[in-house]
Structure 1
Amino acid sequence: MTSDVWLPIPPDQIEGLPEGPAYRFWDGGEEFPADPAECALYVVPYMKSGETGLRPLPGMRAVQVVQTLSAGVDHVQPGLKYLRPGVRLCNARGVHEASTGELALTLVLASLRGVPDFVRAQDRQEWLGGFRPALADRSVLIVGYGAIGSAIEDRLTGFEVARVARVARSARTTERGPVHPLADLPALLPEADVVILSTPLTETTRHLVDAAFLARMKDGALLVNVARGPVVDTEALLAEVGSGRITAALDVTDPEPLPPGHPLWQAPGVLISPHVGGPTSAFLPRAKRLIVDQLDRFVNRRPLRNVILTTGETVR
């Protein structure tokens, strides 16, 4: 039975790893740390290209678990075809909520209050005053109400927003109130001053934000994307922000990274951050805790956390 575990963090920097497995450090370098065929659990390197993370998968003939350190798994799913049935794919729920929730709120406040304009005015040594929109008394719509969507609402508490509406794949009820299904979006969009995207990228959500979605947003509304770039149809967004009818704050784009000369860079009313929702000082301690917990469960044959799918079975 294989016992190798591939980690993108040096094992001597992770306290509490269970005894038993042979820990191999691999953070996406050219050389593999061992034979991929001997790997039982693979933790995918974080903030590396999709191609890098997928490279060892064809040789991982006995792997049992693939663990990402990202909330999304879309960058790994193309490689699942190389794996035998029964391999569990797990995401990093619990790792990125704090950082991504912070950034979502930062982008909302910076956009509404005009912080990018102030920075440019400072470069010109210009005192730029005037009234700006506040977050207080605004209606917020969160599209994608999983762990990150809930964390975003946590951080909205105290800002005196008028209303928070929640949308997920299917309807349910939470302590805070109802979560609407995606089918309710046409009715909810015209009421929202701020629309925050925190949904996973799936075939259902790819280009969810298309021309029809954007057309239903109210005049002057702000679109914030901390999900994945392809959730938004870039050409449709460019048409709307180009008209000045809505504004946008994007931590993710399509294409990504955004190449020099792309029209999004200069689009009016658009604030861009370079996909930095997760990589903060909060990442490493939470990632280590997740790795230790998952490995303890794996070694002791207890149920794993955050299983998104099992190869050979229908995706949830």
Structure 2
Amino acid sequence: MVVLREGMCPGLEEGLVRDLRAADIKTVEDLVSSDMEELAQKCSVSYKALFAIRRVLLAQHTAFPVSGADLYEELLSSTAILSTGNPSLDKLLDSGLYTGEITELSGGPGSGKSQVCFGVAVHISFHLKQSVIFIDTTGGFTASRLLQMLQTETRNTEEQMEALQRIHVFRLFDVYALLDCLYSLRGGGLQQASVGGGSVKAVIVDSVSAVISPLLGGKPNEGMSLMIQVAGVLKTMAKDFNVAALVTNYLTRSGGGEVQPGLGVSWSHIPRTRLLLERVDKAAVFSPSSLRSATLIKSSRQRCHIRAEFDLKWWSRSEDTSSSRKRKLEETDS
């Protein structure tokens, strides 16, 4: 409740404030919800002057009402859904990654988080012909891996190179560098990355926990503040520029021994959607399978705790197809 006082806006003088209070109009909310004609008579002021004061106070202190239908229409017109390239993951995510939102992949070592990020980047750059910002904080990014995936999609070297050029890579290894990069992207870097290569439709951070979690142990207050800054700039960037933000997170255990995404409760409210990735055959240490499971643990659109299996080789089938092609060529030559 905002109390009316002298000087809040032009025309709201001491005498008028006194008259308004005598008429039991003490707050901005009281004034804007009153009958202007009746109030003008009570306070011996012109209707036009009182209406002008009301209009200024509305602009300064209250939000203009928007209907739910208008908000929904705005959402439909601004939101795009980006396929991950993997049908099983798309089904879990209700068709794919939504622009304007943050989606999180959490999982332990070897769960396939980075491979999924690579696959998403390749799919958006090659099939959608849009640009991707890929922020690597672990040193796990390799261009050769992306090229291997692209070789599945096309044999044309020029097309492969064009797709690679649409993936803009930043290697950053502390939270301050990450923040500098995100602020720079929000301040104009996204538009620059869009020049000549389609607009930026996805920002991938692999991983957000690698640069934040070390600070939460030693200096928790400072770490928490930096984490909230990272979350804030990612959310505003996703919404203001209509991009999908995809981040990865590590796993930790709760007091009861349950596996859960890291970075604590405060971070858990940041992603709109969260997937937990796990290896299907955890016992196969020496010959690990490429099969992984994904469990939806947070969503505003789907029923949570639904699970699907997918194959990491979906984005790199060139290993199999190239081998079979090579064998066929050898058989033909012989």
Q: TM-score, normalised by structure 2?
A: 0.31
Higher RCO (Cα < 8 Å, 6 or more apart): 2
Query: Which of the pair has more CA radius of gyration?
Result: 2
Instruction: Name the structure where helix makes up a greater proportion of residues.
Output: 2
